[in-house]
Amino acid sequence: MLFLLVLICVVTAIFRPRFVEPGNLANIIRWTSLYGVMGIGVAFVIITGGIDLSIGSMLALVGSLFGVLMAQYNLPPAAAIMMVLVMSTLLGLVYGLLITKLKLQPFVVTLCGLLILRGLARATAGGSSVGGFQRLSYLINYEWGSIPVPFLPWINEGYWSFHKWLPSRGDQPGHFALNDAGERISLDWYDWVPLHPPILYLAAIAIIAAIFLNWTVFGRHLKALGKNEQAARYSGVRTDTMVIISYMICTAMAGVAGVLFSIDIGSVMPSTFGNFYELYAIAAAVLGGCSLRGGEGSIIGVVIGTAILRVLQNSIEMWSIQELEFAVVGGVILIGVIADEIARRIIAQRRASQEAALLEKQNASPS
């Protein structure tokens, strides 16, 4: 997946030099961070063998309620954020209880949640757009730093006239070129890509999630549950508790994403806000190595999968074929599922061959 991400970036940069402009790269990083928060949340559910189809509606309800609490009830932003996060986490608890105690299918529960939460979002906002997030824009758009990316000016040759070199001059280090307007532009070997707070949020959540999943008993139990729920239960794993916690984590991350998306976009239209976002989250998790059958998943893989989707979408915009966006997303999900199935079969065949060889060796050895 990392190779695929690099390949898409290189091909797009070659044919569409605007792709590697610092501003465009900054937008890709920011949106990857926002979508990555959702992807990490849904990964916990997918690892258990479940699914959550209500993420987009959850974003709409969180965004609408967040704006209403600040605008109509004059709550401080911190209190409003806390309330919507508690609400989203409790909805995950409801999902988990319906799935574990009433033995309802996750698909049915979350599909009903998709419809119910969207209706609640529209009722909360009164059918109109909710705004008032501009005063919190520093949580998204504040430029706290930047990173050097090599060779960006050289890749952007489509915007510079390289045949008009100007040599370096005394107090003006570096190389320069003239653009079509005759203005001198620096051609240093690197350029600076601005970074915004969302990358910090994603990094913190990803690190905590990776530790939680890979170095705790909970993570081992979660993967055991996804591999074989009955075997995990007989081994002493509290499977119902694991499922409930996984859905609470998923909806909590959807709540965080809802707050961040609301601030980033600046307004929330409850009838359209968050539409199809669950597809991006599920696709990112599948591309990142989360098996839809459960038992497997990687946080860093989810981040890479999210980056692939965002780079693909940006490339589609660069090529001006936006009408194919959903087709590409659907194709990516299908490819991920096919690859997962093929990988599972290959692993199963290898395991069967190894077990057969071991059994044959044991039978051939003297008793």
∠ CA 305-28-287, rounded to 5°: 5
Predicted pLDDT at 181: 54
Question: In b/e form, how buried is each residue of 301-340, taking b as 16+ CB within 10 angstroms?
Answer: bbbbbbbbbbbbbbbbebeeeeeeeeebbeebbeebeeeb
Please state the domain extents for the chain.
2-142+194-325, 152-188
DSSP class of residue 19 equals G
pLDDT tens for each residue of 201-259: 999 999 999 999 999 999 999 999 998 889 999 999 999 999 999 999 999 999 999 99
- Amino acid sitting at position 57: S
Weakest mean pLDDT among 4-13, 161-170, 322-331, 338-347: 161-170
Summarize pLDDT for 68-79 with one digit per residue, the tens.
999 889 999 999
Select the more confidently predicted residue: 128 or 34: 34
Q: Which of 14-23, 89-98, 182-191, 346-355 has the lowest mean pLDDT?
A: 182-191
Rounded to 10 deg, the angle between the 239-265 and 55-71 helix axes is 60
Share of the chain above pLDDT 70, in %: 87
Q: In this model, does residue 157 exceed pLDDT 90?
A: no
48 close to 246: Cβ distance less than 8 angstroms: yes
The predicted pLDDT at position 288 comes to 85
Average pLDDT, the chain: 85
- CB contact set of 127 (below 8 Å; sequence gap of 6+): 270, 271
User: Can you read off the two tokens belonging to residue 331?
Assistant: 């194709």
Residue 291: band (very low, low, confident or very high) from pLDDT cuts 50, 70, 90: confident
Residue 264's pLDDT is 93
Task: Give the pLDDT score at 158.
Answer: 45
pLDDT band at 316 (very low <50, low <70, confident <90, very high): confident
Looking at beta carbons, which pairs linking 332-340 to residues 24 or more positions away fall under 8 Å? 332/283, 332/287, 332/308, 333/279, 333/282, 333/283, 333/286, 336/283, 336/286, 336/287, 337/286, 337/292, 340/286, 340/291, 340/292, 340/293
Provide the pLDDT confidence category of residue 147 given band limits of 50, 70 and 90: confident
Q: What single DSSP character describes residue 76?
A: -
Instruction: Say yes or no to pLDDT of 292 above 60.
Output: yes
CATH domain 2-142+194-325 topology: ABC transporter involved in vitamin B12 uptake, BtuC (1.10.3470)
Answer whether 92's CB lies under 8 Å from 251's CB. yes
Mean per-residue pLDDT for 175-199? 64
pLDDT over 70 at 94, yes or no: yes
Q: Residues 250, 41: contact at Cβ < 8 Å?
A: yes
Q: How confident is the model at residue 188 (pLDDT cuts 50, 70, 90)?
A: low
Residues in the chain: 367
207 Cβ contact partners less than 8 Å away, ≥ 6 residues apart: none
- Nearest 5°: phi and psi at 127? 80, 0
Cα distance between residue 270 and residue 127, in whole Å: 7
pLDDT at 189 over 80: no
